[in-house]
Amino acid sequence: MHTDWNTLLFAFSLTLFAGLATGIGSAMAFFAKTTNTKFLAVSLGFSAGVMIYVSFVEIFFKAKISLTQALGERNGTYMTVAAFFGGMLFIALIDRLIPSFENPHEVHKIEDMENDAEASAYKMRSGLYKTGIFTALAIAIHNFPEGLATFASALNDPTLGIPITVAIAIHNIPEGIAVSIPIYYATQSKSKAFGYSFLSGLSEPIGALVGYLLLYSFFNELTFGLLFASVAGIMVFISLDELLPSAERYGEHHLAVYGLVAGMAVMALSLLLFIK
C-alpha cells in the first residue's frame, strides 16, 4: 500500500497534537480555578461517542474489506473479529499491568491544587513524587497504542483522522491533570509538573512512529486489515473502560449519555458529508 509523504506528515501531526493534549490538561490545572465538571463530563462522553461510532461503522468495516480481499469472505470475517477482540485484549493487558494506584484512570480535579488542607496532606506523603512519576509512566505506556490507533486511522483516511484526533485529545486532558497534581505537590514546581505531563503525551507520536517503522515493509491488505480491526477494538475498550466511567465520575449519568449521543451524531454527520 503506497502512502505519500504529505499523508504521512498529516497523520503524524494529528497524532502529535492528540498526545500533547496532556499538556493542555496540565495548563488547565494551573490557570483555571475550578473544574467545569459538567463540560468535562459531556466532552468525555462526546469522545466516547465518536470513538465507538467510528470504530463499529467505519474502521471495523474497512478492516473487514481488506481482510476478505486478502483471505476470502469466510476467513477474512473470522480474522476481522479475532483482531478486533485481540486489540481489546492488548489494551486490557496494558491496563492490568499498571498497578491500580498508578493507573491514570483516577479522576482528579483542578480544585485539588487549591485546597491547602489537601495540599498539606499530599506533601506529607513521602512517596508522592514517585507516584507522580509512575503516573506519567503509566500514561505513557497506555498512550502508546492510542498513538498507533490515531496514526493508522489518519493514514488510511484523513477525514477520519481529524475527529478521532479530537476525541483522543479530549480523553488526554484529564490524564494531564492526573500527572500534574502529585508532581506539583511533591516539588512545588509548576514547570516540572507541566514538563512530565507534556512528556507523558509524547508516547503517542512515538507509538505511531515505531508502529509505522515496524510495519511499513509489511504493509499490505492483510496487515492493514489486522491493524485496523485491532485499532477498532482498542478504541471501543478505551471508550467503555475509561471515557464513560470518567464522564460519570466527573458529572452526572445523563450528561455523559447526552455527550455520547452527540458524539455519535456528529461523527455520523461528518461521515455523511464526505461520502464520495
- Domain ranges in the chain? 5-271
Looking at the predicted structure, is the pLDDT value of residue 120 above 50? no
Q: CA gyration radius for the chain?
A: 19
CA 251 – CA 264 distance, rounded (Å): 19
Does the model's pTM come out above 0.85?
no
Position 3 scores a pLDDT of 61
Residue 137 in grid coordinates: 509512566
CA 56 – CA 65 distance, rounded (Å): 13
CA 207 – CA 146 distance, rounded (Å): 8
Asked if residues 122 and 184 have their Cβ atoms less than 8 Å apart, the reply is no
Phi, psi dihedrals of residue 120, rounded to the nearest 5° = -60, -40
Position 24 scores a pLDDT of 82
Position 117 scores a pLDDT of 41
By mean pLDDT, which of 48-57, 207-216, 262-271 is the weakest? 207-216
Q: Which tens digit of pLDDT belongs to each residue from 166-189?
A: 888 887 877 787 777 767 777 778
Looking at the predicted structure, is the pLDDT value of residue 254 above 90? no
Mean pLDDT of all residues belonging to the chain? 78
CA 57 – CA 42 distance, rounded (Å): 22
